[in-house]
Chains A and B, each alone.
Chain A
Amino acid sequence: MLNLFEREKLELETLSQEQTAINVEHLDLWFGNKQVLDDVSMRIPKHQITAFIGQSGCGKSTLISSFNRMNDLIDGCRYRGSIEIDGRDINHPRENVARLRANVGMVFQRPNPFPMSIYDNVCYGLKLQGMNLRRALDDAVEQALRDAALWDEVKDRLFESANILSGGQQQRLVFARALALQPEILLLDEPTSALDPLTTLYIEELMINLKKRCTVVIVTHNMQQAARVSDYTAFINQGRLIEYADSDSLFTMPRKKQTEDYITGRYG
C-alpha cells in the first residue's frame, strides 16, 4: 500500500492523448424520454484507478456501461456525444461492438458465472476470439486465475461446475473471466458490494495489481473504498459530473458544496 502515497498526480484537464484511456465529450443519454446523463465530459487516465461515486440512481452504472456500449441492449436507449477509446469514437455505427467489449471488460455487482465448469467459464471469451489450442487455453486459464488470486483454491477442480464456488470465489472467477481476454480497460460496477470485508480486501489488492496492465474504472458506494484504492474520483449527481479530481484532494478538500455534503454523509 506504500505506493498509494508515492503516486504522481496527472493534471486531468491537460491529459495528453497518450495518457487518456477514455475520452468522454458532451455525453447525453436518454432511456426513453428520461434523460439519465447530462453533458458529461471527462478524460479517464490510463493505468490508473478511477472511481465513480454518487447517490443511487444518479447514472453511474449507465455511464460506465456506455464505455462498452452495454446500453445498446436496453430498448429505448439513445445517446449523443462522443466517447473515444484509443482515439476511436466507439459510438461510430461501424464500430465492431463485440471486439470493443472484448477489449473493455466489465464485472457486474452480482457474480454470475455461466453454468459450466470453472475452466470453461474462463475460456468463454477466448474461445469466442477463436482461440482453440488446448495448450494455449490451459496457459491462459491458469494465468487468469492466478491474476484473480483464485488459482490455488480451484486448481484441483477446474472441471467442476462454477456454481459450487462461494460468492466471493465466484466474483473472483468473474474477474478471471474478464482478465483472460487481457482487456485494456476494466469496468467494475460495485464489484465488492456483495462480499465480506476480507474478500473485499482481496479484490481491492487485485485492482491495484491490475493497474500495471490496464485502466480500471470502478463504481462504488463505499467512500473508504474509493479513497483507499482509487487514484481519481468522479462525483456524479443526477446525471451530471459535479466534481472530478484526484482522490486525495476530492476526499480531503472537495471544491463543491454538493460533493462535500455527499462524502460527509449529509446528502441523500
Chain B
Amino acid sequence: MPRLLNRVYNPTQRQSLAISASASMVAILLLTLMSIIGFILIRGSAYFWPLDIYTLTYANSQTGVTAQAFAQIRDESMRAPLIMQSGEQGAIKQRTEEQNWWLSYVVEGRVTLSRELLDPANVLSVSKNPNVAEITLTNGETVLANPLFKTPTQTQRQALSNLQEARVNVDYLQQQIESVRRAHLSPIHEELAEFDRLGVANDAPARVRLTQQFYEHQQTIQQYQQQLAQYTLEVVDAQGNVSVLMLSELEHIDFSNQLNTLGKVWVSVSRIWAFLSDEPKQANTAGGVFPALFGTILMVLLMTLIVTPFGVLAAIYLSEYAPNNLMTAALRIGVSNMAGVPSIVYGVFGLGFFIYAIGGSIDSLFYADKLPSPTFGAPGLFWASLTMALLTLPVVVVATEEGLQRVPSGIRASSYALGATKIETIWYTVLPIASPGIMTGVILAIARAAGEVAPLMLVGAVKFAPTLPVDGEFPFLHLERQFMHLGVFIYDGAFHSQTDSQGSSMMFAACLLLLLCVFGLNLIAINLRARLRKRYTQGA
C-alpha cells in the first residue's frame, strides 16, 4: 500500500494526504463530541422552556365522538404540522403512518392526567387560547387548563389578575398553621409521649390538661384550614369540565400562550432555579433535583478527600522508596491495570467487603444497641465515597508518579546538598513541583467518579432518600445515610422515559446538569492546576 502511494503521489502530495487523512479523523471526533453535547444541551434545556398550549379538536379513534383537549407538543417534528394547521382550522391533509404522535398532558376531568394517543387523522382542528395556562401543583403535577379563582369575600369567580393578593393571604394562613404546629402541637405531643413512657394514668390532672390544650390548638388549626379551603382555584379543561383545587395546592401558573420570548426566558430561568433547588416529586418525574445534585457533589468531594492522600502516598512510595526490582515493576503494572477493572466489580467489592465485613464489624462494636437495624453495615455515603476512591486510586497513583518522576534531578540534588533529608526533600520541593501532576490525577478521578452509576447503586446511592446527608442535627454530616445521585436519577428517569415524555425530558435535563456538574468540578481542579503550575514551573 505505501509503495503504491509512493508511485502515484509525489512527496508533497503524500504529505498533504497524510495530513488530510488524520485531520478528517479529528473532524469526525469533533463532530461526535459536538453532537453529543448539542443533543444533551437541546433536549435538556427544552425541559425548562414554556411550550405553547394548543387546543385540539379531535375525533376519538375508538368512540368516534368529537372531543377537545389542551396539549403541549414536546416533539419538534410534530409541532410543525400542527402549527401550520392552527391557521387553517381544517383537517390535516397529509396523513402518514409515522405521524402518529404522543401528546402530553391532556387534561380530562378532575386533575387526573391522561395521555391520549392521537392519530393526526383524527385531529379536526388546532387553535391557541391565550387563557389556557400550565398549572404546576405543589405535589409536582402539571395541569393544562383555563384557571379561575375564588376568595372567601367574593362569591364570583375572579380573573387571575388579582391572584397575587389572594396568594399572600393563603401564604399567611399556611404560616399560621405551621407555627401553631411547631410552637404548640409538637411539644405537647412529645410530653404526652413522655407520659406514656412513664406510665402516667389517662385521667391524671396534668395529662387531662395537656390533652385539653392539644384539642384547643387543633381547633385553631382547623379554623385556619377552613379559611384556607375558601380560597379555591377552579380549572376548566378543554371540554368545559370544571375541577376545584385549593389555592394552597398551587405552585405556580404560567400562561405560556401569552408570553413573548423574553417572558419565556424569564419563566425558564425560574424553572431552572426550581429544578436546582427543589426536591423531586411524583417519583422523580417532576419537581427538582437538589438532593441528587447535592449528593453527587458531596460524594465526589469526599472521594477526592480520601483518594488524594492515599494515592499520593502510594505514588511516593512507588517512585521514591520502593527498590528498583521486579516486585516494584509488577506492583506498578498491577496498579495501572486496576484502572481497567469493570466498575461493577468495585461495587460488588464495596458491598461485600466494606459494607458487610467492615461496616458489619463497626456495627457490632460501636452500635450494638441499635442492632439488628444496621448503622454502618448498610450502604451509605461513606462506603460509596470509599468505593469510588478505590476505583479512582490507580488514576491518581499513575498521574502522581509521573509528576514525581518529572521533577528535575538537579532540584533534588540541590535540596540534599542544603542538608535536607529525604523526607524533607520530598515534602518541601518534590511534592510542590509535582503538584500539577497530582492535580491532573485528581481531575481524571473526579471526572470518572462523577459519572459512575453502577457501583454506586450497590453501595449507597438510591432513587429517593428521605433526608440529605448533611443537616442541622449533630454530627451534621451523616456518613452512614443513603444519598441521591444524579447518575442514579438519570438511570431511573431512563426507565420512566419509555412511558412518559415529561419524565424523559427531565432525564435529559438531569443529564445536562450532570455534564455541567462534571465540567464545573473539573474546571475548579484545572484552574487550581494552572495556578500551581504557574507557581511551581521550572525556569530554564
Contact with A along B487-498 (1 / 0, CB 8 A): 000000000000
A181 in contact (CB, < 8 A): yes
Cβ contact within 8 Å between A68 and B417: yes
Cβ < 8 Å to A, chain B residues 255-270: none
> Which residue of the partner chain B has the closest CB to A104?
B417
CA distance A162 to B337 in the complex (A): 40
**Residues of A contacting B536 in the complex (Cβ-Cβ under 8 angstroms):** 115
> Among the listed stretches B2-10, B309-317, B405-413, B453-461, which one makes contact with chain A, having 4 or more residues with CB under 8 Å of it?
B405-413
Taking CB atoms and an 8 Å cut-off, the chain A residues in 159-173 that contact chain B are: 161-165, 167, 170
Contact with A along B244-284 (1 / 0, CB 8 A): 00000000000000000000000000000000000000000
The answer to whether B420 and A108 touch across the interface, beta carbons within 8 angstroms, is no
Residue B204 at the chain A interface, CB threshold 8 Å:
no
Residues A115 and B432 in contact, CB atoms below 8 Å apart: yes
Tell me the bound Cα distance from A70 to B410 in angstroms.
12
Given contacts A124-B428, A164-B539, contact A114 B414 (CB under 8 A): yes
Residue among A101, A102, A115, A161 facing the most chain B CB atoms (10 A cut-off): A115
* Cβ-closest chain A residue relative to B411: A112
From A124, A164, A165, give the contact of B418 (CB < 8 A).
A124
Tell whether, in the assembled complex, residue B413 and residue A129 are in contact, meaning their CB atoms are under 8 Å apart: no
**Given A114-B429, A115-B536: A101 and B418 interface contact (C-beta under 8 Å):** yes
Tell me if B410 and A110 are in contact (CB < 8 A).
Answer: yes
- Report Cα–Cα, A75/B428, bound state, in Å: 23
A115-B432, A115-B433, A162-B539 known; A108-B414 Cβ under 8 A = yes
Q: Interface residues of B: mostly helix, strand, loop or mixed?
A: helix
Q: Which A residues lie within 8 Å of B35 (CB)?
A: none
Q: Are B433 and A112 in contact (CB under 8 A)?
A: no
List of A residues within 8 angstroms of B535 by Cβ: 115, 161
Nearest B residue to A162 via CB reads B539
Interchain CB contact under 8 A, B419 and A70: no
Kindly identify which residue among A125, A163, A167, A178 contacts B537, using a CB–CB cutoff of 8 Å.
A163
- Count of residues in B whose CB is under 8 Å from the partner chain: 25
Which residues of A have CB within 8 Å of B410? Answer: 108, 110, 112
CB < 8 Å: which of B415, B417, B419, B539 contacts A163?
A: B539
A68 to B419, CA, bound (A): 10
B421 touches A98 (CB 8 A): yes
Q: Which residues 205-219 of A have a CB within 8 angstroms of B?
A: none
Which chain B positions have C-beta within 8 A of A191?
none
Residues in A neighbouring B408, C-beta threshold 8 A: 112
Chain A residues whose CB sits within 8 angstroms of the CB of B324 once the complex forms: 75
CA distance A141 to B292 in the complex (A): 54
Say yes or no: A98 contacts B537, CB within 8 Å: no
- Give B530 Cβ to nearest chain A Cβ, in Å: 15
B77 lies within 8 A of chain A by Cβ = no
Render A195-230 as a binary contact track against B, CB cut-off 8 A, 1 for contact.
000000000000000000000000000000000000
Task: Tell me whether A43 is interfacial, beta carbon within 8 Å.
Answer: no
Separation in Å of the B428 CB from the closest CB of chain A? 7
- Cα–Cα distance between A203 and B188 once the two chains are bound (Å): 87
Q: Report B-chain residues with C-beta under 8 Å of the C-beta of A170.
A: 539
What string of 1s and 0s marks CB contacts (under 8 Å) between A98-118 and chain B? Answer: 110111011010101111100
* A177 close to chain B: CB less than 8 A: yes
Q: Which of B411, B418, B428, B537 contacts A181 (CB 8 A)?
A: B418
The CA-CA distance from A165 to B536 in the complex, in Å, is 14
Q: Which residues of B contact A108 (CB under 8 A)?
A: 410, 413-414, 417
A174 at interface (Cβ–Cβ under 8 A)? yes
Within 388-441 of B, Cβ neighbours of A (below 8 Å) are at 408, 410-421, 424, 428-429, 432-433
A128 within 8 A of B: yes
Q: In this assembly, does B156 line the interface, its C-beta being within 8 Å of a C-beta of chain A?
A: no
Q: Is A73 an interface residue (CB 8 A)?
A: yes
Of B419, B538, B539, most buried by chain A (CB within 10 Å of CB) is B419
**B436 CB, min distance to chain A CBs, angstroms:** 11
Contact residue among A73, A129, A174 (Cβ-Cβ distance under 8 Å from B419): A129
**Cβ-closest chain A residue relative to B419:** A102
Given A112-B411, A115-B432, A115-B433, CB of A128 within 8 Å of CB of B539: no
Q: How far is the CA of A177 from the CA of B416 in the complex (A)?
A: 13
State whether A102 touches B418 (Cβ < 8 A): yes
> Taking the nearest CB of chain A, how far is it from the CB of B279, in angstroms?
48
Q: Name the B residues within 8 Å of A129 (CB-CB).
A: 419
A106 near B417 (CB under 8 angstroms)? yes
CB neighbors of A among B500-527 (8 A): none
B324, B412, B415 — most chain A CB neighbours (10 Å): B415
- Smallest CB separation, B33 vs chain A (Å): 35
Q: How many whole Å from B319's CB to the nearest CB in chain A?
A: 14
Contact A125-B413, Cβ < 8 Å, known A115-B536, A115-B538, A170-B539: no
**CB interface residues, A 73-101, toward B, < 8 Å:** 73, 75, 98-99, 101
Question: Cβ of A101 and Cβ of B417 under 8 Å apart?
Answer: yes
CB–CB A128/B418 < 8 A? yes
Question: Would A73 and B413 be within 8 Å (CB), given that A115-B538, A124-B428 are in contact?
Answer: yes
List residues of chain A with CB within 8 A of the CB of B417.
68, 70, 101, 105-106, 108, 178
**B-side contacts of A125, CB under 8 Å:** 418-420
Determine which residue in B416, B535, B537 has the highest number of CB atoms from chain A within 10 A of its CB, and name it.
B416
In the bound complex, what is the Cα–Cα distance between A167 and B538 (angstroms)?
13
- B421 — nearest CB in chain A belongs to which residue? A98
The residue on B at minimum CB distance from A124 is: B418
- Smallest Cβ distance from A169 to chain B, in angstroms? 11
* CB–CB B433/A128 < 8 A: no
Shortest Cβ distance from A68 into B: residue: B417
Min CB–CB distance A172 → chain B (angstroms):
14
Query: Complex: how many Å from CA A73 to CA B536?
Result: 24
Binding site for B on A (CB under 8 A): 68, 70, 73, 75, 98-99, 101-103, 105-106, 108, 110, 112-116, 124-125, 128-129, 161-165, 167, 170, 174, 177-178, 181
Can you give 19 A-B contacts (C-beta < 8 A)?
A70-B413, A73-B416, A98-B419, A101-B417, A101-B419, A105-B417, A112-B411, A112-B413, A114-B411, A115-B536, A115-B537, A115-B539, A124-B428, A128-B418, A128-B420, A128-B424, A128-B428, A162-B539, A163-B539
5 further A-B contacts with Cβ under 8 Å, apart from A68-B417, A73-B416, are A101-B417, A108-B413, A114-B411, A124-B415, A128-B428
Q: Taking beta carbons and an 8 Å cutoff, which residues of B are in contact with A? A: 324, 408, 410-421, 424, 428-429, 432-433, 535-540
In the A-B complex, the 6 residue pairs with the closest CB atoms: A102-B419, A163-B539, A125-B418, A112-B410, A106-B417, A115-B536
